[in-house]
């Protein structure tokens, strides 16, 4: 953001003319500015606040050029001070993924939501520069009033309209317009609006407004290169900004080479899972050479942070990769796995059962009120939703009656004494949940904001219904499911994973449904025609092409030669439904089509005598005509009227003089509002597909564009009850096949746990469990074997003793490992007799049934793929002797023969082979078939089997080598484990007592503090000597300028300590000192300062500089102390143990002059004692910092010791001093011994030379 100001010799009119590429005259000076030769300006708009005074509204009636010219001329005429600021300019890069029309919609929404809504006039121009589309926004700096412009500063008013005063009695002021402190919020809002429009237009990418620093990514952000800088660079000149970005790229190149994991960290801010191509694309952005690119690619591939979720799939014939490898990171994996853990925890809660009596009562009550009976499927879903489990997942196809089901569920739980709440992403969906199901609902954003502030917390027994759950991202789902689980409430997820996708990364609904099970509501009741219900079912199941082909065969798809002809055909068919009184809705994906179709629909109505007496109204979308009877749609929520974003209504009254509008909303409510206050609406005959989700109409008329996908098609073609038509143009689609292909593209998002059935996921999960100290399935199995073995030994001993006394006992059978086989897969509702279509196509379990009559040597294509991957791993390991290659061999081998998807088949095949050829001979022969060695084993086989074994020999050898590799690792691991366990047990038994610290800690863990972190930081920073010195200097210089310097100093010191915009206010002090206090000296009647006043003003820059120094010192120290205090409070939670008896004994030994220091220091026990003492000293230093000075003067120690008894404090001081002294003495003794050895060696070396 930059300023257009007088001081810089700039003109607001010239600035507007340049940005608009127009010719304008400054009416204040008569000067002309002509920039019509600029070609990249494709659109300009002059946006005014909703409550603008009449003179501004009159200006806006002119053309855009004239409005801009006249307004900025008035601005210049009003601002005649030498330091006047005409305008703020915001320049923002636009996403290249969006079309010109889409970017215009994007900017318009941002301006209306964040600038004109604050009373700021915004004159903006879209520059479509090649590879650098951007928008310039000129923003006014003064408030609009009836007589022109108001003042920049105005008193702060309380709730009664009185000016607020500070403790000194001075009036407090606030500044109008934008400041530097607004930049962060504007960036955040800009990112949010971009993400919304990218998602609306079918782009699966996400913009993050946060800096690399805020994201925890240690990369230097590049600077935006404006058109001037780019032009200079393109012409071979030198642009500082372009050169700076080249420097930044070089810096980032070095950073990522030193920390390759930053690439993964950057990737996962936008998506949960990714491929090799995604990694390569991100590496390319931060490297400057092929060598660095390749090096970084190899190092990321070897990173421990990278987790493979799914191995690549290769074509068995061509060996071409069919499906790429899928990756995630440890951080994302663990974060998303917590969602599953919370879901499983909820699923295990069995306290939410509703009795049959109450359930029947709720069902009968609903049926009586509704006048129809529920279907058997709906009743089954209701029973499932009110079962005892703490989570229920309902996959309800569009039009299947989810709202009806939830109405009965709500009533049943309320009869059971539970509170029922609801949530959805969009306000319209929230309204729908309230109206159709009677559930008290809020948007997800509202719930998150309330929970963050400790409000509207859920309670035990509550039921939380999340509607449209398929649109909720992983991060949002994590927040919701954790809050529900923490409150011991129940979560009901209702959605359809095949409708619109989450705007952010991840798709948690599918993963949860797959993990805990789900019920489908498939009985489509919205469509009244059988084949259309079948088409909706196909769309819901992801068979979009089949559904479209069906609609084409029944005459519902209409492709015309061009866009105009297609629009005309759609409007003609829509008009028939509209005139017949039907609830007809036009849908399109692109906003430009929505605008055009709305215009054509109104023209069609007017041709039949409707929409007479139009009135021009300025809305957030521009000035347009409206009339009584017009259908409109609201684009933003309005708290005062209760209108929601996406609500439709019909205008019933319209007063052109007062701008008062009365509408009847689609919920039947009559709402009245003034368009000067609230103008976020437009015509509603045609809407975007995104705004239609959750709606039901009689007839739908859909205009298809090539930007649509399967999810958008599903929503668009399932809104109707009676009829639907799909219209398209040959401009977008050559023929019907092209349309079907484009509209069937699946863009469903993914999360890491979608791949939970792969062996790679299982390995990643085991690593995660190991890091958390939780054993894997095999660990639990081994634990069970050990436990049973121990009990068997005890029972055997008891039985023997009883037998000695003549008591007969039962025979104890030997323990068999077969009896302890534990399943590696826990059956869920999806894995027992159910087909899961959420993440894949048809699935089946492969059962290998041994043939008892003959041995078969067939290998399936899947097993050949496994063998080929083994071959790649073995060949690479043979060529490259590296740990990474060897780990790959072990991983590939384990996937092949131990718990992989095809391990059972491979082991069965190899058992058949080994029954004929011994394992040692298979390995001895190698990869090449050797008949001299193998003929003796194969002689008795039929010729066909012998030929088959020879044909498969490389694969047989691969599988044998895999078995050998895993066997070697398992044996080595077992031996190493036994050695470690024996050593640990021996050491533990030997030194347990001597190394055991007392049970009572020396310094107890502290979790509660009298002061908050903010209070402690403020106290510490204020008492800092350097801060006090800076404050003293600033006050001294203020005293040389102001009569009431103490009050002025108090005001600024307090502002610096409490506010974030201190530097802006300090700079304003330099420009407008009289605003803040009484300046020393006087002015003559003509306004000239006397010598005393001039001296005070001459000193003002020094005072401003001193205040700036104080602000910077205070802010910097405050940030550092906040980090230190936070870390201190985290560390102090953990108690500090006393030194062990053996460590204290060691300290006494090194004090005695009779000790053999070398023997004591370098003994095993001495090394352990030294390590314990060093850890003890480091632990205390981490808590209290450098305690070389007296502990009584240590601020942290004083705070902690205030809670302790004097004896305990004295004990801490004594033991700490003892430990520090011992640590220093050990260092001195070690150095002395080393020096003595060095001296002796030099003497021996010298004697050798003399000889």
Q: What is the pLDDT of residues 17-73, one digit of tens each?
A: 888 988 888 887 888 888 777 778 899 999 999 888 999 998 888 888 999 999 999
Residue 1157: pLDDT band (50, 70, 90) is confident
Question: Who wins on pLDDT, 980 or 962?
Answer: 962
pLDDT top residue among 87 and 779: 87
CA geometry: angle at 801 spanning 795 and 806, to 5°?
A: 120
Higher pLDDT, 265 or 958: 958
What pLDDT score does 70 carry?
Answer: 92
Cβ contacts of 995-1000, under 8 Å, gap ≥ 24: 995/1140, 995/1142, 995/1168, 995/1172, 996/1140, 996/1141, 997/1137, 997/1138, 997/1139, 997/1140, 998/1137, 998/1138, 1000/1138
Q: Is the pLDDT of residue 94 over 80?
A: yes
Give all domains of the chain, ordered by start, each with its CATH number: 2-200 (3.30.930.30), 242-331 (no CATH), 335-521 (3.40.50.300), 544-745 (3.40.50), 775-844 (no CATH), 861-991 (no CATH), 1013-1131 (no CATH), 1141-1250 (no CATH)
340: left (phi over 0), alpha (psi -120 to 50) or beta: alpha
pLDDT beyond 90 at 86: no
Higher pLDDT, 753 or 663: 663
Which residues on neighbouring strands pair with residue 157, listed in sequence order? 163
CA distances from 502 to 61, 103, 665, 896, 1035 (A): 41, 21, 28, 36, 55
In this prediction, residue 336 carries a pLDDT of: 75
pLDDT band for 490, please (50, 70, 90 cuts). very high
From 292-296, 459-463, 806-810, the region with the lowest mean pLDDT: 806-810
| 1169-1193 per-position pLDDT tens digit | 888 888 888 888 777 776 555 666 7
Q: Which residue has the higher pLDDT, 156 or 802?
A: 156
Q: Is residue 995 scored above 70 in pLDDT?
A: no
- pLDDT above 50 (res 228): no
Edge to edge, the sheet with strand 584-588 lists 557-560, 720-729, 697-703, 584-588, 686-688
Lowest mean pLDDT among 131-145, 157-171, 358-372, 384-398: 157-171
* 777-to-346, 495, 781, 783, 817 alpha-carbon distances in Å: 22, 33, 6, 10, 15
What average pLDDT does the structure give for the chain? 77
Report which of residues 811 and 1210 the model is more confident about: 1210
997 pLDDT higher than 70: no
Q: What is the pLDDT of residues 291-300, one digit of tens each?
A: 888 888 888 8
Instruction: Inform me whether the pLDDT recorded for 693 exceeds 70.
Output: no
CA dihedral for 283, 288, 290, 294, sign (positive or negative)? negative
pLDDT tens, position by position, 1193-1214: 777 887 777 766 777 778 888 8
pLDDT band at 568 (very low <50, low <70, confident <90, very high): very high
User: What is the reported pLDDT for 295?
Assistant: 82
Mean pLDDT, residues 489-516: 66
Q: What is the pLDDT of residue 45?
A: 93
Q: At what angle do helices 1045-1058 and 1025-1039 cross, to 10 degrees?
A: 140
CA distance 843 to 832: 12
Q: What is the pLDDT of residue 811?
A: 46
Close Cβ partners of 670 (under 8 Å, ≥ 6 residues apart): 652, 662, 663, 664
Least confident window among 237-246, 880-889, 1156-1165, 1224-1233: 237-246
Which tens digits make up the pLDDT trace of 408-436? 999 999 988 899 999 987 776 787 788 77
Asked whether the predicted pLDDT for residue 207 surpasses 70, the reply is no
Are 106 and 113 contacting, i.e. CB atoms less than 8 angstroms apart?
no
pLDDT at 1139: 83
**C-alpha span between 359 and 337 (Å, rounded):** 34
Mean pLDDT across the stretch 1007-1019?
79
More confidently predicted of 513 and 625? 625
Of the pLDDT bands very low, low, confident and very high (cuts 50, 70, 90), residue 1250 is very low
Instruction: Of 51-60, 246-255, 916-925, give the range with the top mean pLDDT.
Output: 51-60
pLDDT at 1187: 59
Tell me: pLDDT of 167 over 50.
Answer: yes
Tell me which of 88 and 333 has the higher pLDDT: 88
pLDDT band at 885 (very low <50, low <70, confident <90, very high): low
Lowest mean pLDDT among 341-355, 592-606, 894-908: 894-908
In tens, the pLDDT along 1051-1107 reads: 888 888 877 777 888 888 888 888 888 889 887 766 787 888 888 888 999 989 989
Q: What is the pLDDT of residue 339?
A: 83
pLDDT at 844: 30
pTM for the model: 0.37
> 493 and 484 in contact (C-beta within 8 Å)?
no
pLDDT in tens, 265-278: 877 766 777 888 88
- Of 54-58, 462-466, 745-749, 1021-1025, where does mean pLDDT reach its minimum? 745-749
Could you tell me the pLDDT band of residue 110, with boundaries at 50, 70 and 90?
very high
pLDDT at position 725 is: 94
Q: Grade residue 562 by pLDDT with cuts at 50, 70 and 90.
A: very high
pLDDT at 109 over 80: yes
What's the pLDDT band for 618 if we cut at 50, 70, 90?
confident
Is residue 899 very low, low, confident or very high in pLDDT (cuts 50, 70, 90)?
low
How far is the C-alpha of 265 from the C-alpha of 213, rounded, in Å?
A: 12
Q: Which of 636-640, 645-649, 801-805, 1103-1107 has the highest mean pLDDT?
A: 1103-1107
| 377-406 burial: b if 16+ Cβ within 10 Å, else e | bbbebbbbbbeebbbbbbbbbbbbbbbbbb
Give the percent of the chain with pLDDT over 90. Answer: 12
CA distances from 1237 to 1149, 1150, 1158, 1242 (A): 22, 19, 11, 9
Pairing, β 519-521 against β 391-396: parallel
Residues of the chain with pLDDT > 70, as a percent, come to 76
Lowest mean pLDDT across 714-728, 836-850, 919-933: 836-850
How far apart are alpha carbons 334 and 326 in whole angstroms? Answer: 16
Helices and strands (H and E) in the chain: how many: 44, 33
């Amino acid at each position: 953001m930059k300023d257009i100001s007088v001081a810089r010799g700039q003109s607001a009119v010239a600035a507007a003319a340049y940005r608009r590429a127009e010719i304008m005259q400054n009416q204040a000076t008569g000067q002309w500015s002509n920039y019509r030769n600029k070609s990249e300006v494709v659109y300009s708009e002059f946006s005014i606040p909703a409550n603008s005074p009449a003179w501004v509204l009159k200006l806006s009636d002119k053309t855009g050029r004239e409005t801009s010219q006249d307004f900025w001329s008035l601005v210049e005429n009003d601002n005649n001070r030498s330091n006047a600021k005409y305008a703020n300019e915001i320049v923002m890069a636009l996403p290249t993924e969006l079309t010109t029309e889409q970017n215009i919609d994007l900017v318009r929404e941002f301006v209306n939501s964040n600038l004109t809504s604050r009373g700021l006039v915004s004159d903006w121009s879209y520059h479509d520069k090649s590879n650098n589309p951007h928008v310039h926004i000129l923003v006014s700096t003064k408030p609009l009033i009836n007589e022109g412009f108001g003042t920049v500063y105005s008193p702060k008013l309380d709730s009664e309209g009185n000016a607020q005063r500070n403790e000194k009695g001075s009036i407090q002021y606030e500044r109008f317009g934008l400041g530097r402190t607004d930049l962060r919020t504007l960036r955040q809002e800009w990112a949010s609006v971009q993400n919304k429009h990218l998602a609306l237009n079918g782009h699966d990418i996400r913009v993050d407004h946060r800096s690399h620093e805020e994201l925890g990514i240690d990369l230097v952000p590049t600077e935006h290169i404006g058109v001037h800088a780019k032009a200079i660079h393109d012409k071979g000149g030198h642009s500082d900004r372009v050169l700076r970005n080249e420097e930044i790229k070089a810096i980032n190149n070095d950073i990522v080479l030193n920390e390759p994991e930053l690439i993964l960290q950057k990737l996962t801010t936008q998506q949960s899972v990714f491929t090799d191509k995604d990694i390569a694309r991100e590496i390319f952005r931060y490297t400057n050479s092929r060598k660095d690119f390749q090096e970084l690619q190899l190092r990321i591939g070897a990173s421990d942070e990278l987790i493979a979720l799914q191995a690549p799939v290769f074509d068995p014939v061509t060996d071409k990769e069919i499906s790429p490898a899928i990756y995630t990171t440890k951080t994302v994996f663990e974060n998303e796995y917590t969602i599953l853990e919370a879901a499983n925890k909820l699923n295990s809660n069995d306290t939410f059962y509703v009795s049959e009596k109450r359930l029947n009562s709720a069902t009968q009550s609903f049926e009586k009120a509704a006048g129809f009976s529920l279907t058997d499927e709906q009743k089954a879903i209701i029973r499932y939703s009110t079962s005892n489990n703490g989570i229920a997942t309902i996959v309800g196809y569009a039009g299947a009656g989810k709202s009806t089901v939830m109405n009965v569920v709500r009533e049943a739980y309320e009869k059971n004494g539970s509170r029922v709440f609801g949530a959805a992403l969009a306000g319209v969906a929230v309204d729908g949940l309230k109206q159709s199901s009677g559930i008290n609902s809020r948007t997800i954003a509202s719930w998150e904001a309330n929970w963050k502030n400790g409000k509207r917390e859920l309670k035990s027994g509550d039921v939380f219904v999340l509607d449209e759950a398929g649109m909720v991202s992983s991060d949002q789902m994590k927040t919701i499911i954790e809050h529900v689980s923490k409150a011991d409430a129940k979560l009901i997820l209702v959605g359809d994973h095949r409708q619109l996708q989450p705007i952010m990364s991840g798709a948690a609904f599918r993963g949860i449904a797959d993990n805990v099970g789900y019920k489908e509501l498939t009985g489509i009741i919205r469509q009244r025609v059988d084949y259309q219900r079948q088409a909706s079912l196909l769309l819901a199941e992801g068979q979009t092409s089949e559904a479209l082909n069906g609609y084409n065969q029944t005459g519902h798809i209409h492709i015309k030669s061009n866009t105009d002809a297609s629009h005309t055909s759609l409007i003609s068919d829509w008009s028939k439904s509209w005139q017949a009184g039907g609830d007809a809705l036009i849908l399109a994906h692109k906003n430009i089509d929505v605008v055009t179709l709305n215009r054509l629909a109104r023209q069609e109505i007017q041709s039949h005598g409707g929409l007479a007496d139009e009135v021009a109204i300025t809305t957030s979308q521009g000035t347009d005509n409206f009339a009584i009877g017009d259908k409109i749609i609201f684009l933003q929520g309005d708290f005062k009227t209760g209108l929601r974003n996406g609500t439709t209504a019909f205008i019933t009254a319209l007063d052109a003089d007062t701008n008062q509008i009365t509408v009847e909303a689609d919920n039947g409510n009559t709402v009245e509002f003034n368009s000067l206050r609230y103008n976020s609406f437009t015509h509603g005959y045609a809407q975007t597909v995104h705004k239609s989700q959750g709606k039901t109409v009689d007839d739908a008329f859909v205009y298809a564009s090539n930007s649509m996908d399967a999810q958008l098609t599903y929503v668009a073609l399932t809104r109707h009850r009676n009829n639907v038509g799909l219209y398209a143009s040959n401009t977008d689609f050559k023929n019907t096949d092209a349309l079907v292909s484009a509209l069937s593209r699946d863009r469903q998002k993914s999360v890491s746990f979608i791949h939970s059935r792969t062996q790679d996921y299982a390995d990643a999960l085991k690593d995660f469990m190991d890091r958390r100290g939780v054993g894997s399935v095999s660990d639990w199995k081994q634990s069970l074997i050990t436990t049973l073995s121990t009990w068997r030994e005890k029972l055997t001993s008891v039985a023997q003793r009883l037998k000695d006394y003549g008591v007969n006992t039962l025979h104890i059978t030997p323990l068999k490992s077969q009896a302890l086989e534990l399943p590696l897969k826990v059956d869920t509702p999806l894995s027992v007799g159910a087909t899961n279509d959420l993440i894949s196509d048809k699935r089946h379990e492969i059962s290998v049934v041994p043939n008892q009559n003959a041995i078969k040597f067939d290998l399936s294509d899947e097993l050949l793929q496994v063998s080929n991957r083994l071959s790649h791993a073995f060949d690479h390991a043979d060529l490259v002797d590296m740990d990474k290659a060897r780990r790959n061999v072990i991983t590939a081998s384990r996937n092949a023969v131990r718990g992989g998807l095809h391990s059972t088949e491979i082991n069965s095949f190899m058992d058949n082979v080994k029954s004929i050829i011994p394992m040692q001979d298979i390995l001895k022969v190698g990869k090449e078939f050797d008949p001299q060695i193998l003929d003796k084993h194969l002689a008795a086989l039929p010729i066909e089997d012998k030929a088959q074994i020879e044909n498969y020999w490389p694969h047989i050898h691969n599988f044998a080598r895999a078995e050998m590799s895993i066997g070697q690792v398992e044996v080595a691991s077992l031996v190493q484990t036994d050695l470690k366990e024996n050593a640990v047990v021996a050491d533990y038994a030997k030194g347990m007592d001597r190394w055991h610290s007392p049970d009572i800690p020396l310094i107890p863990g502290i979790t509660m503090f009298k002061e908050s972190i903010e209070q402690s930081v403020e106290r510490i920073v204020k008492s800092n000597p350097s801060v006090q010195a800076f404050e003293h200097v600033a006050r001294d210089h203020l005293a040389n300028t102001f009569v009431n310097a103490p009050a002025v100093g108090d005001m600024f010191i307090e502002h610096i300590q409490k506010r974030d915009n201190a530097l802006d206010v300090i700079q304003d002090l330099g420009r407008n000192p009289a605003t803040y206090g009484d300046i020393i000296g006087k002015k003559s009647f003509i306004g000239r300062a006397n010598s005393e006043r001039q001296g005070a003003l001459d000193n003002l820059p020094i005072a401003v500089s001193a205040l700036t120094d104080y602000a910077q010192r205070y802010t910097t120290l405050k940030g550092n102390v906040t980090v230190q205090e936070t870390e201190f409070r985290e560390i102090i939670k953990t108690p500090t143990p006393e030194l062990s008896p053996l460590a204290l004994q060691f300290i006494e030994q090194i004090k005695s002059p009779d000790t053999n220091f070398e023997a004591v220091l370098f003994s095993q026990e001495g090394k352990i004692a030294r390590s314990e003492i060093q850890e003890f000293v480091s632990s205390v230093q981490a808590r209290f910092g450098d305690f070389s000075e007296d502990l009584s003067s240590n601020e942290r120690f004083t705070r902690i010791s205030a809670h302790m008894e004097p004896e305990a404090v004295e004990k801490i001081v004594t033991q700490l001093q003892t430990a520090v002294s011992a640590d220093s003495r050990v260092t001195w003794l070690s150095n002395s011994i080393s020096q003595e050895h060095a001296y002796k060696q030099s003497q021996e070396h010298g004697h050798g030379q003399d000889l």
